[in-house]
Amino acid sequence: MGGIETEPHQWPWTVQLTYRDAHRCGGALIDSEFVATAAHCFSKSRDPKMYRVNVGVHRSGGGRAHFVQRISIHPLFNLLWPSSYDVALLRITPPVKLEGNRNVSTICLPSTPSVTHQMCIVTGWGLTSENGPKADVLREIHVPIIPFAQCNDLAHYAGRIHLPSMLCAGYSQGIIDSCQGDSGGPLMCSIFGRWELHGLVSWGIGCGRAGHPGVYAKVDAALPWILIEMNILRK
């Protein structure tokens, strides 16, 4: 909410995850066969046959549909802390054709931890206000990474944030935020001129409320698992 419509295919790694043909979550294409998204997106079912991944999407429901072959949930999801390590990896089929495809590309995995106060971008088809309609076309918000100590202080989340696996991005005054339906979508930061995936939309209290910025799964914390799991799932 509080965002703007993206230019068509401006963020070509943003994908749409559907459940029984209805919008469920966002995600990020990190390889021709793999999508990173939020683990909580699979609360209804972990049956891959129930899901599709649409790539090259601008208008919700568009793009090209790929089957989900495997769903892998981070082993520490919800284990150490509520919503800890809210990361899932999907293997999709057929592999996405990247060569010569202007509408689809992959995003880089993080080369460094996210930088406090850096402005990053979140994309999604989620609600445009807390109780409002879902976005018809892909939207983006520009939000700064918030220091952990600030996000966890009494004026914000009062100790609810799990430092190893979460990061906060947004504004103390609210207004600009991710919302329901944006879950699993990418928080991307430009590092030395290339876009890297630093977060996945995870949770928050309401949308755009003062003192409650968006909370994101920290991708660099899950990176070793992601790389190992990709090798396992390829076999």
Residues marked active site are found at 40, 86, 183
- C-alpha to C-alpha distances, 97 to 15, 92, 101, nearest whole angstrom: 14, 12, 7
Any idea which residue has 């495997």 for tokens?
70
The residues, any chain, with a CB within 8 Å of residue 65's CB and separated by 6 or more, are 18, 52, 53, 54
Question: Which amino acid belongs to residue 21?
Answer: D
Count CA within 13 A, CB hemisphere, residue 24. Answer: 20
The residues, any chain, with a CB within 8 Å of residue 212's CB and separated by 6 or more, are 156, 157, 174, 204, 205, 206
User: What DSSP character marks residue 131?
Assistant: T
Q: What are phi and psi of 191, to 5 degrees?
A: -115, 115
- C-alpha to C-alpha distances, 39 to 9, 13, 81, 89, 90, nearest whole angstrom: 25, 18, 14, 8, 10
The DSSP bridge pattern shows strands 186-191 and 214-218 to be unpaired
Q: Which two tokens stand for residue 234?
A: 């390829």
Question: Which amino acid belongs to residue 62?
Answer: G
